[in-house]
Amino acid sequence: MQQEEADRIRSEHEISIIAGANVPKPCPTFEHTSFPSYLLDAIAAAGFQKPTPIQLQGWPIALSGRDMIGIAETGSGKTLAFLLPGIVHINAQPYL
């Protein structure tokens, strides 16, 4: 994705990047994420059609290991924006 496309998506979804350099580009669809197939299958089974604004920008930031302060309305998908990258990270760890 080119920077112009990332900027257009952010503008379209009213996403503001206040600070930070080299912020990861948004993931406008679930297929653009690096989520494993078991997670994509669960997302589809739950009936989700597309990521919400907090998710489409939050997932690439969280998956890159960077910090983020995300502000969005109640019911906007903040929990999944935080939780799904956490599940990916946990499942990538070796068993104890």
Q: Read off the pLDDT of residues 58-77 as tens digits, 9 standing for 90 and up.
A: 999 999 989 988 889 999 99
Tell me the pLDDT tens digit for each residue of 25-57.
999 999 898 899 999 999 999 999 999 999 999
- For the chain, domain boundaries: 3-91
- Nearest CA among 44, 42, 10, 4 for reference residue 27: 10
Q: What is the DSSP string of 17-62?
A: --S-SSPPPP--SGGGS---HHHHHHHHHTT--S--HHHHHHHHHH
pLDDT at 37: 93
Question: Quick check: 8 pLDDT over 90?
Answer: yes
Q: Which CATH superfamily groups domain 3-91?
A: P-loop containing nucleotide triphosphate hydrolases (3.40.50.300)
Q: What is the pLDDT of residue 78?
A: 92
pLDDT at 10 over 90: yes
The set of long-range contacts for 62-70, using a CB threshold of 8 Å and a minimum separation of 24, is 62/86, 63/24, 63/33, 63/34, 63/88, 64/24, 66/20, 66/24
